């Protein structure tokens, strides 16, 4: 069964600290893995997209890693800011050849950054 | 570009009433998706279109749900009749290939 599991479910950190969010998946055949940030009351916004051959990708203070062998990904946030408070959603795309792959969503990690 | 535009932002209705959610995708995007998000189930794909044609509607929960895309710049999701368990945030997203752009969603409350 194609699934995406995220941990922790929620996380509270102090401003300026680093944190790492985890994503495990069983989606096959794998096409790519994305991390989205969803602010309260808004739609998800793409942070990173990684294909099978990529094992790390950065977007400012966000760095995503991918281990396609163990089917794990992590999102590391450096020097957190209050504006990082949001839900972070891991999404895995299944390969469907030339057509758009089916997306499988994790339930998200709710991050709260305190001053 | 203004991004994906959804309306209304909030909808409160009574059980049994018809609800129509609207979406304007980003110009040039040939894929359009409708998602539903709840605390219990997270984001769920309802249906998606490619070049205005419905490709996969297996996520549409019941016959009470229907979606149309009459042209490349407009889509609707209709619920008739609505039920309290339909209460959720409904997102529209558009894409060229892999990167999705989401709208701000419609918060639907069915009383």
Q: What is the mean pLDDT of residues A6-30?
A: 95
Share of chain A above pLDDT 90, in %: 78
Q: Is the pLDDT of residue B93 over 60?
A: yes
Q: Is A83 helix (H, G, I), strand (E, B) or coil?
A: helix
Q: What is the mean pLDDT of residues A17-42?
A: 94
The answer to whether B104 contacts A49, with C-beta atoms less than 8 Å apart, is: no
The token pair that represents B31 in the structure block: 């894929």
Nearest CA in chain A to B10: A41
The answer to whether A43 contacts B4, with C-beta atoms less than 8 Å apart, is: yes
How do residues B31-82 score in pLDDT, each as one tens digit? Answer: 999 999 998 888 999 999 999 999 989 889 889 999 999 999 999 999 999 9
Q: What is the mean pLDDT of residues A25-35?
A: 91
Residues 6+ apart with CB under 8 A from B24: B4, B5, B6, B73, B74
Predicted pLDDT at A57: 95
pLDDT band at A31 (very low <50, low <70, confident <90, very high): confident
Mutate to test the interface with B, among A50, A92, A100, A105 (most CBs of B within 10 A): A100
Beta-sheet pairing, A103-105 with A86-94:
antiparallel
Q: Is the pLDDT of residue A96 over 70?
A: no
Q: Is the pLDDT of residue B7 over 60?
A: yes
pLDDT band at B96 (very low <50, low <70, confident <90, very high): confident
Q: What is the mean pLDDT of residues A60-89?
A: 96
Question: What is the dihedral sign for C-alpha B38, A87, B55, B21?
Answer: positive
Q: What is the mean pLDDT of residues A80-90?
A: 97
Q: Mean pLDDT in chain B? A: 94
**A45: distance to nearest CA of chain B, Å?**
7
The answer to whether B4 contacts A49, with C-beta atoms less than 8 Å apart, is: no
The answer to whether A108 contacts B50, with C-beta atoms less than 8 Å apart, is: no
Q: Is B78 helix (H, G, I), strand (E, B) or coil?
A: strand
Predicted pLDDT at B97: 72
Nearest CA in chain B to A93: B98
The answer to whether A46 contacts B45, with C-beta atoms less than 8 Å apart, is: no
Nearest CA in chain A to B40: A107
Q: Is the pLDDT of residue A79 over 80?
A: yes
Q: Is the pLDDT of residue B15 over 80?
A: yes
């Amino acid at each position: 069964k194609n699934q995406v599991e995220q941990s922790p479910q929620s996380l509270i950190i102090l401003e300026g600290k680093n944190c790492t969010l985890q994503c495990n998946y069983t989606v096959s055949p794998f096409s790519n893995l994305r991390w989205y940030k969803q602010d309260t009351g808004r739609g998800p916004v793409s942070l990173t997209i990684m294909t099978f051959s990529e094992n790390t990708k950065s977007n400012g203070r966000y760095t995503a890693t991918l281990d396609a062998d163990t089917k794990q990904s992590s999102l590391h946030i450096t020097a957190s800011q209050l504006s990082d408070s949001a839900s972070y959603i891991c999404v895995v795309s299944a390969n469907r050849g030339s057509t758009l792959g089916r997306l499988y969503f994790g339930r998200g990690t709710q991050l709260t950054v305190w001053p | 570009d203004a991004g994906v535009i959804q309306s209304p932002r909030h909808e409160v209705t009574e059980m049994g009433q018809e609800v129509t959610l609207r979406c304007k995708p980003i110009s040039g995007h040939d894929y359009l998706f409708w998602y539903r998000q709840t605390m219990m189930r997270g984001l769920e794909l309802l249906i998606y279109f490619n070049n205005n044609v419905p490709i996969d509607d297996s996520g549409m929960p019941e016959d009470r749900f229907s979606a149309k895309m009459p042209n490349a710049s407009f889509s609707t999701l209709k619920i008739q009749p609505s039920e309290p368990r339909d209460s959720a945030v409904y997102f529209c997203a558009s894409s060229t290939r892999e990167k999705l752009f989401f709208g701000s969603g419609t918060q639907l409350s069915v009383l």
